[in-house]
A and B are shown apart, each in its own frame.
Chain A
Amino acid sequence: MKRKVVSILLIAAMCVTVLAGCRGGSDSSKEGSSVAKDEDNTLEFYHGYYQDESEWAAAQVMRDIYDQFAEEHADGNVTFKAIAVENRDEIVSAQVSGGSFPDMVDFGGARGSLTSAVAQNLVYDLKPYIDENNLADAVGLNYTQNDQNGHIYSVHDQIESRGLWYNSAVLEKAGVSTDKIFADWTSFGDAMDKINTLGNGIYGYIAGQGSRQIVNAIMGSTEKGKEMIESELTEDTINSSEFAEAFKTAAKLDQANGSDHTTDDNGNLMADFNTNGTVGVLFNGVWNAGAIAEANAEVIEPTLFPGNIAIASAGDGIAVANGMSEEKTALALEFVKYMTSGEVQEKIFTEVQAKPCNTTLDLNALAQKSDNAIVSKLAEACSQVNDADTTVIDLSYTWGSDVDKAIINALMESAVSGTDIDARFEQLQKELLALIG
Chain B
Amino acid sequence: MKKKRHIKSAKSMPAGTRIFTYICLFWALIVALVPLIWLILSSLKEDPLARPGFQLPESIYLNGYISTFRDLHVLRYFGNSMFVAGVSVIISVVMISMSAYVVARMEFKGKTLVSILLYSTMFIPATALTYPVYNLINNLNLYDTRGALILIYSCSGIAISFFVIKNYYDNIPRDLEEAARIDGCGYVRTWVKVIFPIARPGIMTAAVLAFLNNWNEYYWASLVLITREKLTVPSLLSTFTTAFNTNYNGLFSAMVVIILPPILLYCIFSKFFIEALSGGAVKG
Contacts and interface: CB of A to CB of B under 8 A. Distances in A.
Interface of A: 3-4, 6-7, 10-11, 13-14, 17, 20-21, 24-25, 27-29, 31-33, 36, 48, 50-56, 58-59, 83-87, 90-91, 93-95, 97-98, 108-109, 267-272, 275-276, 285, 287-288, 290-291
Nearest to A87: B222
Would you call the interface of chain A mostly helix, strand, loop, or mixed? helix
B150 A21 contact: yes
B197 A87 contact: no
* Range for the number of chain B residues in contact with chain A: 35 or more
A180 to B, nearest CB: 30
Contact of A98 (B49, B50, B134, B146): B134
B124 interface: no
A276 B50 contact: yes
B121 interface: no
A270 B197 CA distance: 56
Given A52-B72, A54-B71, 8 more contacts: A14-B90, A27-B145, A53-B71, A55-B250, A85-B222, A86-B231, A90-B130, A272-B49
B120 interface: no
A33 B50 contact: no
Contact of A86 (B146, B222, B246): B222
Contacts of A272: 49
B200 interface: yes
Interface stretch (B30-38, B110-118, B236-244): B236-244
Nearest to B154: A21
Given A52-B72, A91-B223, A93-B130, A28 B148 contact: yes
Nearest to A93: B130
A291 B245 contact: yes
27 contacts: A4-B193, A6-B197, A7-B193, A13-B90, A17-B87, A17-B94, A21-B150, A24-B146, A24-B147, A27-B147, A28-B142, A28-B147, A29-B141, A32-B142, A54-B72, A56-B239, A59-B242, A85-B226, A86-B238, A90-B130, A91-B226, A108-B243, A267-B245, A267-B246, A268-B49, A276-B50, A285-B244
Contacts of A56: 239, 242
A33 B219 CA distance: 26
Would you call the interface of chain B mostly helix, strand, loop, or mixed? helix
- Nearest first, the 6 closest Cβ-Cβ pairs linking A and B are A32-B141, A28-B145, A87-B222, A24-B147, A94-B134, A54-B71
B242 A51 contact: yes
A21 B200 contact: no
B223 A90 contact: yes
A32 B138 CA distance: 9
B145 A31 contact: yes
A98 B131 contact: yes
A93 B131 CA distance: 8
A58 B141 contact: no
B242 A58 contact: yes
B67 A55 contact: yes
Contacts of B223: 87, 90-91, 94
B73 to A, nearest CB: 9
Contacts of B193: 3-4, 7
A271 B94 CA distance: 50
Nearest to B90: A17
A288 B131 CA distance: 37
B245 A270 contact: yes
A230 B246 CA distance: 31
A50 B244 contact: no
Nearest to A51: B239
B239 A275 contact: no
A288 B242 CA distance: 13
Most B-side CB within 10 Å, residue of A3, A14, A287: A3
A409 to B, nearest CB: 21
Contacts of B177: none
A167 B243 CA distance: 23
Nearest to A7: B192
A91 B47 CA distance: 34
A313 to B, nearest CB: 14
B196 interface: yes
B87 A50 contact: no
Contacts of A27: 145, 147
B247 interface: yes
Contacts of A59: 242
B91 interface: yes
A141 B284 CA distance: 75
Contacts of B49: 268-269, 271-272
Nearest to A58: B242
A53 B70 CA distance: 12
Nearest to B71: A54
B147 A7 contact: no
B131 to A, nearest CB: 4
B271 interface: no
A305 B136 CA distance: 50
A53 B192 CA distance: 52
